Amino acid sequence: MTYIVKPKNHHPDLERNELGLTRRDYEGSISSLCAGCGHDSISAAILEACFQLNISAHRVAKLSGIGCSSKAPAYFLNQAHGFNSVHGRMPSIATGANLANHELMYLGISGDGDTASIGIGQFVHAARRQLNVVYIVENNGTYGLTKGQFSATNDLESKSKYGEDNLFPPIDLAAMAIQLGASFVARSFSGDKNQLIPLLKASMKHKGFSFLDVISPCVAFNNHSTSTKSYDYIREHNESVSETDFVPLGKEITASYDEGESVQVPLHDGSLISLEKLSKDFDPSNKSSSLAKINKAEEEGKVLTGLLYINTEAKDLKEILNVVDKPLNQLNEKDLCPGTKKLKEINKDLS
């Protein structure tokens, strides 16, 4: 947790956007996540994207499930309503909320446990229905809040903080979203603001299901076997006491690299993650070739980042359902109640 001092996002406080707002106006409560948690970097990127897009914070609704990642919405956009619902069920809350008022922007924040395990069903169907939401999975390969169990996106060969092997292959949520027809699918890294912020902005502008799989290292529990020496001592120490309750203070991990490039990023524990950024000339409009590229990279042990797939033609849920333009939550008895006259006709039909 970044107690008392909130990290300033290295920008002059006083810059104002077209709404006349400063970045401070987009802040949330003080984060209670671990120092150096990738999720905090994502919050900062969301803040920045909203600032740059001149979004009125109160016209955003922040929705989440349960987990460290799902707490994150409390730490940005204080002027936006938030709904920290139950584990894995954010998509249904987002669906209902969106139908009630399609004029707000819906930011759905979830974790890999929240989405890939308990919530996979709702994820699948929200994607299929083209729900107009920016759906971000803050993907750390672990269950942060419940102390480091494997999530279903964890790499096959990795080990837990407790030294156990992960036995099952990862679910690639981005590939699934593409297969299911989501109209915007991207992947990025919490520490790569240069890539993440533009992708966030694009997703916020996109209509339909916008999915962002953001790799977001966990300081506390993402502890691969390849760790460098520096952390060994603490890990060993921790493993041999009954409570593994020590979390070293970490720093935000950053990475900056160009399109078409690969880079190896060291994580908190010294292990490496290989990121590969899609090249400029990649055409993200073809489902099969996107899938092939993702799967090929995976076979090579690389994580492909960038805009993986986009379809700008797709209708969103509200359009598919042919719902009126005035938000449903603003309709009143005049709009909605058919009244006595109609009721008399109905009575007649039924008699």
Partner 1 sequence: MTQIVSTNEFVIKFANVNGSGSASANQMFAKGIFRSGVPVSPKNIFPSNIQGLPTWFEVRISEKGYLGRTEGVDIAVAMNPQSYNEDLREINSGGYLIYDSSWKRDFERTDINIIEIPLTKLCVEEFSNPKTRLLFKNIVYVGALSYLLGMDKEIYETLIAEQFKGKEKLIAPNIKALNIGYDYASENLKGSCEIKVNKSEKTKGMILTSGNDASGLGCVYGGATVCAWYPITPSTSLAEAFTDYSEKLRIEEETNKNKYAIIQAEDELAAIGMAIGANWNGARAFTATSGPGISLMSEFLGLAYFAEVPLVVFDIQRGGPSTGMPTRTQQSDVLSCAYASHGDTKHVLLIPSNPKECFEFAAEAFDLADRIQTPIIILSDLDLGMNDWSCPEFEWDDSKTYDKGKVLHAKDLEEIENFGRYLDVDGDGIPYRTYPGAHSEKGAYFTRGTSHDEYARYTEDGVVNARNLSRLLKKYQTASDMVPGPIFNQETNSSPLGVIYFGSTEASMQEALDKLHEEGIVLDAMRIRAFPFNLEVWEFIEDHDLLFIVEQNRDGQMRTLVMAEGGIIPDKLVSILCFDGQPITADFISNKMSSHITGSPSKSASGGK
Assess 248 for contact with partner 1 (CB under 8 A). yes
Distance CA 171, CA 11 (A): 37
Give the number of other Cβ atoms within 10 Å of residue 127's Cβ: 25
Question: Could you tell me the smallest distance in angstroms from the CB atom of residue 110 to its own copies?
Answer: 14
Assess 68 for contact with partner 1 (CB under 8 A). yes
Cα 244–Cα 38–Cα 24 angle in degrees, nearest 5? 125
Residue-wise burial string across 255-283, b where 16 or more C-beta atoms lie within 10 A, e elsewhere: bebeeeeebebebbbebebebbbbeeebe
Tokens of 185: 């699918």
Assess 170 for contact with partner 1 (CB under 8 A). no
Question: Which three-class secondary structure state does DSSP give residue 235?
Answer: helix
268 binds, among ligand TPP, ligand SF4, Mg ion, none (CB under 5 to 8 A by kind): none
Assess 152 for contact with its own copies (CB under 8 A). yes
Go through the chain and tell me how many residues it has. 351
112 binds, among Mg ion, ligand SF4, partner 1, none (CB under 5 to 8 A by kind): Mg ion
Assess 23 for contact with ligand SF4 (CB under 6 A). no
Assess 68 for contact with ligand SF4 (CB under 6 A). yes
Question: Could you tell me the smallest distance in angstroms from the CB atom of residue 144 to Mg ion?
Answer: 5
Assess 249 for contact with its own copies (CB under 8 A). no
For residues 166-205, which are near its own copies according to CB under 8 A?
167-169, 171-172, 175-176, 179-181
Who's near 194: CB < 8 A, 6+ residues apart?
Answer: 256
Give kind and range of the element (H or E) at residue 175.
Answer: helix 173-180
Query: Do β-strands 262-266 and 272-277 pair in parallel, antiparallel, or remain unpaired?
Result: antiparallel
- Residues that bind ligand TPP in the complex, under the rule CB under 6 A: 66-69, 87, 111-114, 138, 140, 142-146, 151
- Residues that bind its own copies in the complex, under the rule CB under 8 A: 117-118, 120-121, 124-125, 128-129, 152, 167-169, 171-172, 175-176, 179-181, 287-289, 291-292, 295-296, 320-321
